[in-house]
Structures are given as structure tokens and as C-alpha cells.
């Protein structure tokens, strides 16, 4: 097993015990003896609250999310235009002067710092600020849905593989290895290219090729092994613990043991992975959109906007800078916050490495970043 | 040892086989992805489409199409749909650029990742550590194509210090080759330096609390010797395995974003261009190549570690 179960044990009722010397409670430097009634999550929350940098960056991310989800309000009441409305032949008054939105030579207007075209326009005369917010909404939606898919499926797969072992584990672990062997961006574009053409139809669920859910599903699937493998490793260790035996002797079913005994013990791992997967999902969406295998135009997203902007470098650099800065700020916000969460849950940031070569690859949550 | 190597090689071949099947299925078993329709163009008659379908073997059962495709790939005469050029020849042409990128960037990111990570761990909790952490997080939060485009804008267009992308073969002009590779190396390395320094930092901090490190200190070794011979050495093992994987991914066309931004005409960019034209065979081959590179290098690393550390042979 590659991951040291630094996470606390649990008693049958789901209350978290702090007996193990490796538990976060015992590792708390200023905490002294573990006092009854304060669980590791309470302590983690207390530690996180002390980390002002992490909180500030977390707040930045939340602010960006709120702004992006208010995109229709901004479009209707401030900019008075939609994300896909062309204004190529329109003019805008800046400082009492009439200006073309897109000049005769095809150059879009830069930031005007007023209600209309606050951040300028793109080559089609579309309001950049409106597109930025709608694009952010799309990027974030894809990121959140992808993360949801990854976390749910990875938990199920990791639990099943680690708990049942044997054939189930053999098959599931091989499938995970297979997905994991692909470089992330290559697998993403392979799936993105083929699915953008035909969409997905799995039983009753049918998605058309330009649906936002297509990139979300792809990204969600691509990241499953990075979460499922560490969870499997942890479950392999947990299933040998006394409290699992105790539950089994009491006649608990496998499903009950998995959900009531083991799941609470891998919860902190899941919490650590959550912000990391959100950050990486947003980055991968941008990468796929940049290559034309993600969100399909005219739907805006940060990735497609940057990709459009790069084509107009060097004449209209604001088209790259604006969505680029927003993307980096959002991802940085969630990354710094996630780093704080990891520190808070596990102050020594322990992901123990054992001597067994193939087991330890990329099981450190930090090792997910593979978008190049 | 021999048993370990044989077992590892067999599993490698099995994974490669599974990868080829999966990649093939991704591209062939999709609804509405009929390549014949696209190849025939908009004005084609159904008969023409049928003719193309027949001559390219799209009507065969799936397993037979798989066998034909694999046979073509292994014998080296896969033809792309759009340009009808030999895919293997195209990849061979693109390989020097990708190789240059992978080797140069690989050395840079390993070196700086280790230096920054070690430094961060020694100064753990202090200002240097915090600053390096923030830098590393900025590095992993910036998409490589954005960083590349911005670097090109400022350093190549505004200040004209570096050339505006492109690749010059090493054999043609070594100085110009270096000149063209510096920016791509630096940009590709930034992300990895961020990741590696964070991992090394936590590994070093872990190792420093081990008993044998205390023993080494207790028997009077100098701090420098303890850090280098005992702590760093043991913290490097996971970094090296990770490095071999990432290096393999870049080698197999995984640096598709960097190559596209800097217009290096490498393997990754070849795949990216093929995607734009929905040209399946090149994407199929590059994706297989990338996955194979990862599998082969990870097997090699395992064997190397098994050779260096007998415990792995027993447990693996």
C-alpha cells in the first residue's frame, strides 16, 4: 500500500477516533493531547481558518464563480448585448468620440472602460467582457461537472477494487492502468475529436456533439485513475482494520461496510482531491478548447477565447490577456485554497512512499498536473 | 531478476495491445464519424462514398478493420485520409523537433525542480519556502499555451530577443537550433518545475523524519552529507519514476500544446493539425505512440529500480 493511512480510524457509528499516533490530531503541534469531542475535521477547519492566504485565494475563486454565474445580469443591464451578438459594423462612443467596434482593417477595439465594450471587442465585434463572463460560466460548469463525474466514479471504482480484491480488482485496476497510460491531453483530444462529431449515446442518455456535457464527460473520465488508484490503495489497508471485522461480525453487508465504515475514512482524501481536480479540469478544458477538441464555437469558454486571441497576436493582445488572466486567477485561487486544505487536513503533507516501484507513481495528489 | 523482467515485459505487451484496441475503438466505433463521407467531400454521390468505403475497407467487420490497421501501422504504410501521405514518414520527419524539446526541457525541469524543491524543504515554513510555493502554484495554474503565447509576444515580438517560433535542425546549425529551442524549453519546464519542486519538498520533509537520517546525524556526519547522501538520494526515487513518465509523454507527442504554440512541427503538432482536419490515422498513430512511450519507459524504470533495489523484485 502506497498511502500511509494518516486519516483517522472510525468507530462503527461513523464518529472519528483519534487513537492512531499518525492521526492529524496527534500531529497537531499546538493542540496538545487530543481532547474528546473535537474531530479531525473540526481541527482542520480551525487550522484552515488560520491560513489567511489560502482563505483569500479561496474567496477570489468564489468571487470569480459568482461573477461568471451572474453573466446574464451583466449582459442585460450593463452591456446590453449577448455573448454571441456581432457588432462588426457598429460604432461606440468613447470619451465623446465615435469609434468603430471593428476597424476597417479588421482590428477590434481595445478596452473602453465603460458599460459597452468594457474590455473591448473581439474580431467579430462581440463584447469581450460579456463573452468573458459567459465563457467563464461554461468553463466552470465543465470543470464542476467533470469533477463531479471523476469523484463519484473514482470513489465507486476505488472502493470496489480495494474492497472486493480478486477478479473485480484485477479487471478494474487494469482498466485504470490503461486510461492512465495515455498522456492526458492526447486521450482528451482523441475522445474530444471523435465525440464532437457524433456526440454520445449511452442508453437513454444522448448528447449532441456541441453539448457542454461532452467535454465534461471526457475530462471526468480522463482523471478517474488519478483519484481511484490512491483510494484503492487506502481501501486495501482499511479493509484489514479491526473496525471492519467488528462490523462484519455484527452482520453488516458489504455495501454497508463500504459506505458506513470505509467511506468516512477515505473522505479526507476525497476532500484533498476535490479542489485539485476542479483546477485541473478547468485547465484541461482550456487545453482541449485551444486544440478545437473541447467546447465547440460559437459557445464561448476561456479556452476558446484564448485560442481565438492567440491568432490575433500581436495586433490585439487584449484578446489573449483578458481571458488568460481570468483563467489563471481562477485556477490559482482554487489551487492555493486546495493547498491550504491539504495542509490543514494533514499538516505534515504525508503521502508515504514505499519501496514498490509501480505502486507509487502519481499517487501523490500533487502529481496530477499533466497538461502540457 | 530474470523472472521479474520477463513478467514486466509480458504485462507491457498486454497493455500495449489493450491500448491499440482502445485507441482504435475510440476512433472507429463512433456514431456519425464516417470518414468516407468526409473524404468524398460535400458534392459526392452516394456511389462515390460507397466506393471509398469499399476501397478503404470501412465496410469490413470491426475486428478485421482493426487487424488491417494494425498491420499497416506495424509495417509502416498507414496513409492519412486528407493528404494521403505516409503517416510514419511524417512522424519520422517530426521526431527530431520533439526529441530536442523533450531532452532539453526534461533536463531543465528535473534540475530546477530538484533544486527548488530541496531549497524549499530546507527552508520549510520560512519566507523562501512560502515564496517558492506561491511561484510553483502559479506555474501549475498557467496553461502552457497561454504562457507560450505571452512569452512569444513579449520576448519575440516586442523585444525581439528570441525568434518567433519554428524549428531549426541541430545538424543544420547548432547555434540557431539552441536559439530556437530556449523559449520552448523554458515554457514547457515551468509547469513541471512547479509540480516536481512541490513533490520533492514533501518527499524530503518525509525522509528527514526517518530513523536512518537521525542515525546519520548521530554518528556525526556533516549536515551537507546527510542531506545529499541520505535524504536527497532517497527522496529522488519517486521523482525519477515520475520524470520517466512525463518524459515519455512529451516524447510521444504529449507536448502537443507547446509544439503548437511555438510552431515546432513536432509529433504533437502533427497530431494537432490532423485533429483540425478530422484526419483519423495520424491521431490514432500518435496517441498509440504516446501511450506506448509511457508504457515502455515505465517498464524500463521498473526494471532499473528492481536492479538497484532488490526489495522491489520481491514485492513486484
B4 in contact with chain A, both atoms CB, cutoff 8 A:
no
B168 in contact with chain A, both atoms CB, cutoff 8 A:
no
Lowest mean pLDDT among A26-35, A301-310, B12-21, B208-217: A26-35
Residues B187-199 pLDDT 10s: 999 989 998 998 8
- Select, from the ranges A106-110, A197-201, A296-300, B210-214, the one with the highest average predicted confidence (pLDDT): B210-214
Higher pLDDT, residue A171 or A94 = A171
- List chain B residues with CB under 8 Å of A336: 134, 137
Residues B8-43 pLDDT 10s: 888 888 888 888 888 888 776 554 556 676 676 667
A255 in contact with chain B, both atoms CB, cutoff 8 A:
no
CB contact under 8 A, A372 and B191: yes
Give residue A295's pLDDT. Answer: 85
Residue B313 pLDDT level (bands cut at 50, 70, 90): low
Residue A108 pLDDT level (bands cut at 50, 70, 90): confident
CB contact under 8 A, B32 and A197: yes
Residue A356 pLDDT level (bands cut at 50, 70, 90): very low
What b-and-e string marks burial along A275-294, b requiring 16 or more CB atoms within 10 Å of the CB? bbbbbbbbbbbbbbbbbbbb
Q: Which of B139, B299, B78, B313 is nearest to A332 (CA)?
A: B139
B7 in contact with chain A, both atoms CB, cutoff 8 A:
no
Mind spelling out the 3-state secondary structure of B242-308?
HHHHHHHHHHHHHCHHHHHHCCCCCHHHHHHHHHHCCCHHHHHHHHHHHHHHHHHHHHHHHHHHHHH
CB contact under 8 A, A358 and B302: yes
Selected residue of B141, B252, B268, B284 to mutate for chain A interface (largest A Cβ count, 10 A): B141
Is B231:B213 a contact under the CB 8 Å cutoff?
yes
Give residue A16's pLDDT. Answer: 39
Number of Cβ within a 10 Å radius of residue A30: 5
Give residue B29's pLDDT. Answer: 56
- List chain A residues with CB under 8 Å of B141: 279, 283, 328, 331-332, 335
Give residue B172's pLDDT. Answer: 85
ipTM of the assembly? Answer: 0.85
Smallest CA–CA distance, residue B90 to chain A, in Å, is 18
Residue A154 pLDDT level (bands cut at 50, 70, 90): very high
- What is the chain B residue with the closest CA to A184? B254
Residue among A181, A209, A332 minimizing CB distance to B294? A181
CB contact under 8 A, A336 and B286: no
Mean pLDDT over the full length of chain A = 78
Distance CA A91, CA A75 (A): 18
Residues B208-263 pLDDT 10s: 888 888 898 899 888 888 888 888 888 888 888 888 888 988 888 778 889 988 99
Mean pLDDT on A148-156: 95
Is A273:A227 a contact under the CB 8 Å cutoff?
yes
CB contact under 8 A, B138 and A332: yes
Number of Cβ within a 10 Å radius of residue A364: 22
* CB < 8 Å from B in window 12-51 of A: none
H helical segments located in B167-232: 174-208, 211-218, 223-225
Distance CA A88, CA A82 (A): 14
Please, how many CA atoms are within 13 Å of residue A232, restricted to the half-sphere of its CB? 29
Give residue A129's pLDDT. Answer: 86
Is B65:B28 a contact under the CB 8 Å cutoff?
yes
- List chain B residues with CB under 8 Å of A283: 141, 143
- List chain A residues with CB under 8 Å of B287: 182, 186-187, 190
Residue B273 pLDDT level (bands cut at 50, 70, 90): confident
Residue among B146, B205, B305 minimizing CB distance to A357? B305
Residue among A279, A353, A361 minimizing CB distance to B141? A279
Mean pLDDT over the full length of chain B = 84
Residue A138 pLDDT level (bands cut at 50, 70, 90): very high
A139 in contact with chain B, both atoms CB, cutoff 8 A:
no
Lowest mean pLDDT among A70-74, A257-261, A323-327: A70-74
Residue among B33, B198, B309 minimizing CB distance to A366? B198
Give residue A159's pLDDT. Answer: 93
CB contact under 8 A, B206 and A306: no
Selected residue of B139, B149, B237 to mutate for chain A interface (largest A Cβ count, 10 A): B149
Residue among A181, A198, A328 minimizing CB distance to B30? A198
Q: How many helices (H) and strands (E) does chain B have?
A: 15, 0
Question: Does the pLDDT at position B278 exceed 60?
Answer: yes
- List chain B residues with CB under 8 Å of A324: 143, 146, 150
B299 in contact with chain A, both atoms CB, cutoff 8 A:
no
Smallest CA–CA distance, residue B279 to chain A, in Å, is 10
Question: Does the pLDDT at position B310 exceed 80?
Answer: no
Percent of chain B residues topping a pLDDT of 90: 16
Number of Cβ within a 10 Å radius of residue A255: 10
- What is the chain A residue with the closest CA to B146? A324
CB contact under 8 A, B242 and A331: no
Is A349:A342 a contact under the CB 8 Å cutoff?
yes
Please name the helix (run of DSSP H) or strand (run of DSSP E) that holds residue A43, with its range, or none.
Answer: helix A40-50
Higher pLDDT, residue B249 or A8 = B249
Higher pLDDT, residue A15 or A209 = A209
* CB < 8 Å from B in window 285-304 of A: 286-287, 290-293, 303
Mean pLDDT on A26-36: 45
Q: Which of B159, B142, B164 is nearest to B257 (CA)?
A: B142
Nearest-10 Cα torsion for A307, A309, A311, A315: -170
Residue among B26, B141, B238 minimizing CB distance to A360? B238
Question: Does the pLDDT at position B128 exceed 90?
Answer: no
A61 in contact with chain B, both atoms CB, cutoff 8 A:
no
Residues A51-67 pLDDT 10s: 888 899 999 999 999 99
DSSP state of A261: I
Give residue A140's pLDDT. Answer: 94
CB contact under 8 A, A291 and B272: yes
Give residue A204's pLDDT. Answer: 61
* CB < 8 Å from B in window 167-206 of A: 174, 177-178, 181-187, 189-191, 193-195, 197-199, 201
Give residue A2's pLDDT. Answer: 36
CB contact under 8 A, B287 and A190: yes
Is A22:A8 a contact under the CB 8 Å cutoff?
no
CB contact under 8 A, B242 and A195: no
CB contact under 8 A, B258 and A372: yes
Residue among B138, B283, B290 minimizing CB distance to A182? B290
Residues A169-219 pLDDT 10s: 888 888 888 888 887 888 888 788 777 666 666 656 666 666 788 889 889
Amino acid at each position: 500500500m502506497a498511502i500511509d493511512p494518516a486519516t483517522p480510524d472510525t468507530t462503527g457509528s461513523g464518529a472519528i477516533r483519534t487513537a492512531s499516533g499518525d492521526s492529524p490530531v496527534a500531529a497537531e503541534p499546538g493542540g496538545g493531547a487530543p481532547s474528546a469531542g473535537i474531530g479531525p475535521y473540526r481541527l482542520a477547519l480551525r487550522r484552515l481558518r488560520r491560513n489567511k492566504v489560502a482563505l483569500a485565494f479561496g474567496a477570489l475563486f468564489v468571487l470569480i464563480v459568482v461573477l461568471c454565474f451572474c453573466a446574464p445580469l451583466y449582459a442585460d443591464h450593463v452591456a446590453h448585448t449577448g455573448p454571441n451578438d456581432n457588432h462588426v459594423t457598429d460604432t461606440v462612443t468613447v470619451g465623446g468620440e465615435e469609434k468603430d467596434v471593428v476597424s476597417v482593417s479588421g482590428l477590434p477595439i481595445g478596452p473602453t472602460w465603460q458599460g459597452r465594450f468594457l474590455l473591448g471587442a473581439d474580431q467579430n465585434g462581440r463584447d469581450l467582457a460579456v463573452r468573458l463572463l459567459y465563457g467563464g460560466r461554461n468553463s466552470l460548469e465543465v470543470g464542476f461537472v467533470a469533477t463531479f463525474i471523476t469523484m463519484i466514479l473514482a470513489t465507486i471504482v476505488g472502493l470496489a477494487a480495494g474492497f472486493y480484491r480478486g477478479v473485480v480488482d484485477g479487471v478494474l485496476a487494469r482498466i485504470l492502468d490503461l486510461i492512465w497510460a495515455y498522456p492526458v491531453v492526447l486521450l482528451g483530444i482523441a475522445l474530444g475529436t471523435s465525440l464532437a462529431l457524433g456526440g454520445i449515446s449511452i442508453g437513454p442518455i444522448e448528447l449532441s456533439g456541441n453539448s457542454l456535457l461532452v467535454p465534461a464527460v471526457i475530462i471526468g473520465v480522463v482523471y478517474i485513475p488519478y483519484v481511484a488508484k490512491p483510494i484503492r490503495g487506502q481501501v486495501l489497508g482499511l479493509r484489514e482494520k479491526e473496525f471492519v471485522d467488528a462490523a462484519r461480525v455484527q452482520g453488516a453487508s458489504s455495501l454497508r461496510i463500504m459506505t458506513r465504515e470505509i467511506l468516512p475514512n477515505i473522505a479526507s482524501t476525497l476532500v484533498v482531491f476535490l479542489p485539485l481536480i476542479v483546477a485541473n479540469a478547468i485547465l484541461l478544458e482550456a487545453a482541449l478548447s485551444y486544440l478545437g477538441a473541447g467546447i465547440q464555437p460559437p459557445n464561448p469558454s476561456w479556452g476558446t477565447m484564448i485560442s481565438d486571441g492567440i491568432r490575433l497576436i500581436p495586433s490585439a493582445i487584449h484578446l489573449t490577456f483578458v481571458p488568460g488572466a481570468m483563467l489563471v486567477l481562477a485556477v490559482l485561487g482554487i489551487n492555493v485554497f486546495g493547498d491550504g486544505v491539504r495542509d490543514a487536513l494533514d499538516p505534515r503533507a504525508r503521502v508515504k512512499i514505499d519501496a514498490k516501484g509501480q505502486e507509487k507513481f502519481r499517487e501523490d495528489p500533487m502529481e496530477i498536473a499533466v497538461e502540457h | 531478476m530474470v523472472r521479474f523482467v520477463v513478467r514486466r515485459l509480458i504485462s507491457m505487451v498486454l497493455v500495449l495491445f489493450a491500448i491499440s484496441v482502445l485507441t482504435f475503438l475510440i476512433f472507429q466505433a463512433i456514431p456519425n464519424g464516417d470518414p468516407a463521407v468526409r473524404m468524398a467531400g460535400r458534392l459526392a454521390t452516394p456511389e462515390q462514398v460507397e466506393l471509398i468505403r469499399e476501397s478503404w475497407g470501412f465496410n469490413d467487420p470491426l475486428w478485421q478493420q482493426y487487424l488491417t490497421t494494425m498491420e499497416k501501422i506495424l509495417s509502416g504504410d498507414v496513409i492519412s485520409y486528407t493528404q494521403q501521405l505516409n503517416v510514419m514518414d511524417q512522424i519520422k520527419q517530426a521526431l527530431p523537433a520533439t526529441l530536442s524539446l523533450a531532452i532539453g526541457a526534461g533536463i531543465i525541469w528535473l534540475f530546477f525542480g530538484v533544486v527548488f524543491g530541496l531549497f524549499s524543504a530546507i527552508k520549510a515554513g520560512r519566507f523562501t519556502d512560502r515564496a517558492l510555493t506561491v511561484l510553483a502554484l502559479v506555474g501549475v495554474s498557467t496553461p502552457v499555451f497561454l504562457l507560450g503565447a505571452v512569452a512569444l509576444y513579449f520576448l519575440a515580438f516586442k523585444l525581439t530577443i528570441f525568434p518567433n517560433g519554428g524549428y531549426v535542425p541541430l545538424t543544420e546549425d547548432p547555434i540557431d537550433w539552441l536559439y530556437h529551442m530556449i523559449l520552448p524549453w523554458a515554457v514547457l519546464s515551468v509547469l513541471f518545475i512547479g509540480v516536481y519542486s512541490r513533490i520533492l519538498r514533501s518527499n524530503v520533509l518525509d525522509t528527514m523524519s526517518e530513523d536512518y537520517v537521525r542515525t546519520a546525524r548521530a554518528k556525526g556526519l556533516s549536515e551537507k552529507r546527510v542531506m545529499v547522501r541520505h535524504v536527497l538520494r532517497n527522496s529522488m526515487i519517486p521523482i525519477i519514476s515520475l520524470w520517466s513518465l512525463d518524459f515519455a509523454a512529451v516524447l510521444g507527442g504529449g507536448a502537443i500544446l507547446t509544439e503548437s504554440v511555438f510552431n515546432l512541427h513536432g509529433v504533437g503538432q502533427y497530431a494537432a493539425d490532423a485533429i483540425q482536419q478530422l484526419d483519423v490515422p495520424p491521431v490514432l498513430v500518435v496517441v498509440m505512440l504516446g501511450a506506448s512511450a509511457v508504457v515502455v519507459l515505465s517498464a524500463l524504470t521498473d526494471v532499473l529500480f528492481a536492479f538497484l533495489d532488490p526489495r522491489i523484485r520481491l514485492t513486484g
